[in-house]
Structure 1
Amino acid sequence: MTDAPSPAPTPEAYVLGVDSGGSGLRVALGRVDTDGPLFTAVCAEPVRTGVGGIDAAHLLEQLLPAAAELLERAGAGGTADSSGQVSPGQVAAFAIGAAGMATLGGRLRAELPGALAEALGVRRMALAADAVTAYAGAVGQRPG
């Protein structure tokens, strides 16, 4: 069975960007039709790592409430219930740059897509090492 392709995002759709590293978790909410973030949030506690790599559950414990807060501030009505669930269909795309993604990100790659699809309704995701996202942020769409 194949999943149906995601519909193209509308210009008003939201996008979430996340940076996870040794100094904590940073979350930015933007819109498809707007440059730069609308709102940002910082979780000062770094995401735990262990034998299984980066702790996906701990990342979600921080990310989902932060995403709900940002959506609420943007007027998207993204209120979370006690489990951190946010009303689906508000976030068109999600990208995360995580320190150690290449070597410690197995659990993130396995768990985040399903968890974020369920919690936020997001179907388009990019998971990358923070070195890749830092390079992309510095160079943008110019040749590098």
Structure 2
Amino acid sequence: MFVIRADVILREIEKYIPKMYKSLMEIYKHLGEIDEEEVIREQYNLIDGISIDFGVMQKTRKAFVIKSDFSWDDIGSFTALSRFLGSNRSNAVSEKVFLEECENCAVFGEKKKLIIGFGVKDLVIVDAGDVILVMDKNRDQEIKHLLNNLSEQEEYKDYL
């Protein structure tokens, strides 16, 4: 496990990923302001898709590695994230989900709507408010490719 203080990580981000640092500072300036959501969306689209592990942690000399024994899950996929949902037979589900004759599905929803699944298997279903994603569970590592393709379509940019 890597351990690094927040002020140190910000300086290291500034050093190793300066574009990301600039975007983070722009977001910080607008937190709590009326345009916060718009600025976050704009800046997020400018940030390169590099993980903190590759961008900073593998380069810095200011982090510590501490040997420890605990459960860890890199929540970088819907499969990993589904391990934190409730269980319904052989499915992983959030609140307000009713499944009948479904197998090996992961369903992420908001509390506002009921999601009903019937007779499906191996699906990821995500209700993100203004977007609903339905995908083969075995292809969740391809979501970045899908989002890149979607972002190239002008009519869908407001949904990303």
Q: TM-score range by the shorter chain?
A: under 0.3
Structure with more relative contact order (C-alpha pairs < 8 Å, separation 6 or more): 1
TM-score (structure 1 length as normaliser): 0.22
**Greater share of residues in strand:** 1
